[in-house]
Structure 1
Amino acid sequence: MVGLLRRLKPDWYIILIVSMVVLASILPARGAAAPAFGLATKIAIALVFFLHGAKLSREAVIKGVTHWRLHLLVLAATFILFPLLCLGLAALPGAITPAALAPGLIFLGCLPSTIQSSIGFTAVARGNVAATVASATASNLLGIALTPLLAAMLMHTQGGFSLHSAQSIVLQLLLPFIAGQVLRPWVGPWIIARAKAVGYVDRGSILLVVYSAFSEAVVQGIWTKVSALDLVRLLILCVVLLAAVLLATLFAARAFKFNKEDEITIVFCGSKKSLASGVPMAGVLFPGATLGLILLPIMVFHQIQLMACAVIAGAYAKRADSDAQTS
């Protein structure tokens, strides 16, 4: 029971993100401070993707690539199944899906998978860690291009994507990422040796984006557009979405006769959405007045997926230990 409660406890980083929302609601950046925060946010986003490029090992990309059936299934779940399900949820009547949050649900479906938590849960569950590294890495690499393209196709009716957005993606995401990859032989070892400090920079940048986004959203009246009941509805929708994807990836892995280790990789990689990539991408793609609404579904879904996958990973690990004892 204690172990279950430990896995279910909220992520402290999510608490910090929620704190940024509260702070922005009470003390939003206004007047002359708003442009300064906007500039700092753009620099922070570029820095995040430069660090991602500099940290990403080419060996991690290559390792496990030959397991193409597994990777195709994970990518299909991430960039086909998720967007279709999120489109379906967004199209539900307003009494079920709040209209103000529907674009954020669609954008959630367009995001790549996570890297760190997918690897961590796979390791705990005794899954195929090497394949998880390759799949999660491929998802994030493709996400730099696929997420904006999917957003352009699925959200054009809401005006959430434009030529300016595409230019911003190139300048703030793609070019810094490429620069990080190019400079990796020189700066990579230094960054890897200071992984903890770099992690603070990475996460601190996301906190800045959240505060800046919600500051402008509060000034524009976000809390007059979203009620407490809307947040409860969003929570239920995210639970339903995660449950549907978890079941779909589990049944698909078994239908294609993957072994247990590969099944674990497919379930964890295919059911995740990246907050670390989603927040900066949203900061580039969407104007400040709508950004706060776009971020709410990502934040809620992220916490739910961590809690649910922690329980699932524990169940997989317990089964593996039981099988080892009986064999």
Structure 2
Amino acid sequence: MLILLAIIVAASVVPARGQFAVYMGWLTNAAITLLFFLHGAKLSTKAVIAGLSHWRLHALVFACTFLMFPLLGLALKPVLLPLIGQELYVGMLYLCALPATVQSAIAFTSMARGNIPAAICSAATSSLIGIFLTPLLVMLLIGGDMHGHSLGDAVGKIMVQLLLPFVAGQVARRWIGAWIDKNKSWLKNVDQGSVFLVVYTAFSHAVVEGLWAKLPLTQFAALLLACSLLLALVLGLTYFLARRLGFNIEDRITILFAGSKKSLATGVPMAQVLFASAAIGPMLLPLMLFHQIQLMVCAVLAKRFAARPT
């Protein structure tokens, strides 16, 4: 979180311009390709297949991620649009269309003593499904605000830049899987480094285009309030639905943490593919704020669940 804040400050003070911005764009695209190749190489097909048997849990997680979130984004339009403005509201809709996180959903489920195998399966499968479903949801939710990209263009770019490297990683797993599993501790730097590169490049472009001149402090505070409101509603509804549908406490914990998350690691590079460069900075602000808030709130919730009697 501190590094992300530092990168935003750096992009605001020393943004990439001219030929340096072109080089940063090339480097960012290469980093995104490597990121999704490693995601494919890290994902165990056996773990996903083994976890699919708990279909009721996964169905609810996917419904929360890809149905409840977008519906809430649309339902809150009368409140959010006058509160944060059109550009940031479009960013909120983009946030609602994204898949769940993988690492943090599993980490919080483990910390809270939930159903870890189900969390692994749900989070990993959500990330994979999102490669196909998120562009469709973005088109349905945002429509003309995709800055000239048709659904076919968006899916084509996703296929080339995200899906093909992912599939290549899955194919290569039989040869490099053991090495990947052994070196996960430092390979996570590729995930974080890719996000940092995209954030710096996107915010540099936005700053050059006058982002901070257009975004007063009061609007930033309103966005913080909007993200907190959305997270509170999602957490409450997710846990309520899991309880009403008769899931045990371990499954409810998994549904809560897997169904309420949105992935910064997927959302940042996907925005690079789906949207014009000038739109990415404002588009990512809601996602970045929501991501930080969800981590802090879910850390507190996980600690409370972990303290329950065994």
Structure 2 match to 1:6: none
Structure 1 match to 2:192: 203
Structure 2 match to 1:275: 264
User: 2:289 & 2:99 partners in 1: Cα distance?
Assistant: 16
Give the direction of change, closer, same or farther, for the CA distance of 1:83–1:93 in structure 2 (3 Å limit): closer
Give the direction of change, closer, same or farther, for the CA distance of 1:115–1:93 in structure 2 (3 Å limit): closer
Structure 2 match to 1:4: none
User: 1:284 & 1:23 partners in 2: Cα distance?
Assistant: 23
Structure 2 match to 1:5: none
User: 1:192 & 1:256 partners in 2: Cα distance?
Assistant: 36
Which stretches in structure 1 are left out of the alignment for 5+ residues?
Answer: 1-13
Matched, 1:311 2:300: yes
Matched, 1:33 2:20: yes
Matched, 1:293 2:282: yes
State how many pairs are aligned. Answer: 308
* More deviation, 21-30/189-198: 189-198
Structure 1 match to 2:232: 243
Matched, 1:256 2:256: no
User: 1:93 & 1:244 partners in 2: Cα distance?
Assistant: 14
Shift of 1:63: 2.1
2:80–2:89 contact (8 Å) kept in structure 1: no
2:110–2:116 contact (8 Å) kept in structure 1: yes
User: 1:307 & 1:127 partners in 2: Cα distance?
Assistant: 18
TM-score, with length taken from structure 2: 0.96
Structure 1 match to 2:181: 192
User: 1:93 & 1:113 partners in 2: Cα distance?
Assistant: 22
* More deviation, 76-85/152-161: 152-161
SS at match of 1:189: helix
Which stretches in structure 2 are left out of the alignment for 5+ residues?
Answer: none
Give the direction of change, closer, same or farther, for the CA distance of 1:91–1:166 in structure 2 (3 Å limit): farther
2:80–2:226 contact (8 Å) kept in structure 1: no
SS at match of 1:32: helix
SS at match of 1:95: helix
Shift of 1:54: 0.7
User: 1:91 & 1:100 partners in 2: Cα distance?
Assistant: 15
2:146–2:275 contact (8 Å) kept in structure 1: no
User: 1:237 & 1:281 partners in 2: Cα distance?
Assistant: 22
Structure 2 match to 1:154: 141
Task: Please tell me the root mean square deviation across aligned C-alpha atoms, in Å.
Answer: 1.3
Give the direction of change, closer, same or farther, for the CA distance of 1:36–1:91 in structure 2 (3 Å limit): farther
Structure 2 match to 1:234: 223
1:214–1:292 contact (8 Å) kept in structure 2: yes
Instruction: Map residues 1-327 of structure 1 onto 2, 5 A cutoff.
Output: 14-92=1-79, 94-160=81-147, 161-162=149-150, 163-319=152-308, 323-324=309-310
TM-score, with length taken from structure 1: 0.91
Shift of 1:93: 6.0
Shift of 1:193: 1.7
User: 1:95 & 1:152 partners in 2: Cα distance?
Assistant: 22
* More deviation, 75-84/115-124: 115-124
Structure 2 match to 1:9: none
